[in-house]
Amino acid sequence: MNTTIDRSMNSAVNPSRLFLASCFALITTAFSFSIRAGILPQLGKEFNLSAEQLGFINSMWFLGFPISMIIGGLVYHSVGPKIIMTVAFVMHTLGILLTIYSGGYTGLLISTLFIGFGNGCTEAACNPMIADTYSGSKMNKMLSRFHMWFPGGIFIGSLISKFMTDAGLGWQAQIWIIMIPTLIYAFLYFGQTFPTSKVAGATSLASNFKAMLTPLYLFIFCCMALTAISEFGPQQWVGLIMSKSGAAPMLILALTTALMAIGRYFAGPMIHRFDQTGVLLGSAIFAALGIYLLSTQTGAMAYVAAVFFALGVCYFWPTMLGFVAEKIPLSGALGMSLVGGVGMFSTSIFQPIIGRWIDGERAQRVSSGLSGDALELAAGQATLAKMTTFPIILIVAFTLLFFFMRNRKAGSVDESVVLEQPQL
């Protein structure tokens, strides 16, 4: 009886409209990321904030994200994605309005936390919804194309922020822009039927927790903390770190995210050719190289460094979630939400730490006699050099994962061959 109901509900689903709405919801998340990165220097100047204080403001974006992702994952199968996305709309709207009328440091902390809540609800609802709408290789392809709109939205938002800043428009006007995709996704979701889970047992929290207590899930859980900070650390701080590099920081961010969006759009053939583990290992290598180059290059070469960085972090997020959905399906919506949540939580923790690194490098170089642009450049590059630690650890971790999954796959093939042999 339940199967009949599920099939009739899924037959009424409009996958194209739901997917389009999900993309605009993710564009909202991306705008809140890129536009905030663009206005960070303005906020610091207007409210007389240190880099560490700006780091705490950034951390609220990444803290609200995992909290609502985890809660959303826990209640996804009981309340459904429609209610979760309604909460996302309310949180996004409140966060935008409270940011504009914040008036200072405390107000910016609270408003950024609300926007983080909205972003986390988006991930908690959309990832399992897309996984339930599509199957097999198409599921991996559509997840990658959905996540294409995070860097794609950052690319658009970066250019908008740069244009508005160059035109002398204040940070409040830039924040208003985030309302545009917010209203669009609310309209597209309105009145739609949402899919139900296609994996038997995935709606049971007991099955979810059992699947999440396996060594493979726990390994991916830990790796996600490092992939996320490898991607978001340099991106969120590009406005300050690269401001004196001789290259335009927002153009670096725009170039990086444009390449990421293109890469994610064509992720299907890449994953098919190299498998998820091969893609993750290659990504870690390019990410380490890209961050290192960003920490050493200036002028036009900074854009070249951005290309390597983009190739590195491009596939991290969607491939990690696709790995969980495909290789550990019984973890369900909760498993995907927790993996995404730990990524954002680790990034939240590191935001004030990165700000402290910048302040510390500045102080150290002031005592060495540096000042002005040379001081800012040296402090920024030294901070980026420290960030190379994250992808270097991932190179080791994903090498181990690559050989483990290859051996496991070979073992399962051998086992199937044995089972097919006639009994003597």
In a domain, residue 178? The reply is yes
- DSSP designation for 331: G
Give the pLDDT confidence score for residue 89 in this predicted structure.
97
Q: Tell me if 242 is assigned to some domain.
A: yes
Query: Does residue 2 belong to any structural domain of this protein?
Result: no
Domain membership of residue 1 (yes or no) is no
Instruction: Check residue 419 and give its pLDDT.
Output: 33
Copy the structure tokens of residue 12. Answer: 């009424």
Has residue 147 been placed in a domain?
A: yes
Please indicate, yes or no, if residue 422 is contained in any of the structural domains.
no
Question: Does residue 414 form part of some domain?
Answer: no
For residues 104, 248, 354 and 109, what is the CA-based torsion angle, rounded to 10 degrees?
20
Q: What is the pLDDT of residues 105-155, one digit of tens each?
A: 899 999 999 999 999 999 999 998 998 888 767 877 888 889 899 889 988
Instruction: Using CA atoms of 283, 139, 265, 59 in order, give the dihedral in degrees to the nearest 10.
Output: -60
Q: How far is Cα 189 from Cα 23, in angstroms, rounded to an integer? A: 11
Show the domain range for 310: 14-196+203-408
Q: What is the pLDDT of residue 6?
A: 47
What's the distance, Cα to Cα, between the start and end of the chain in Å? 44
* Rg of the chain on CA atoms, in Å: 22
Residue 205: predicted pLDDT:
85
Cα(212)–Cα(241) distance, integer angstroms: 38
pLDDT at site 415: 37
Alpha carbon 144 to chain centroid, angstroms: 12
Low-confidence ranges of the chain (pLDDT < 70): 1-11, 136, 198-201, 236, 239-240, 410-424
- CATH number reported for the structural domain that contains residue 77 in this entry: 1.20.1250.20
**How many domains are contained in the chain?**
1
Task: Output the pTM of the full model.
Answer: 0.76
Q: Tell me if 413 is assigned to some domain.
A: no
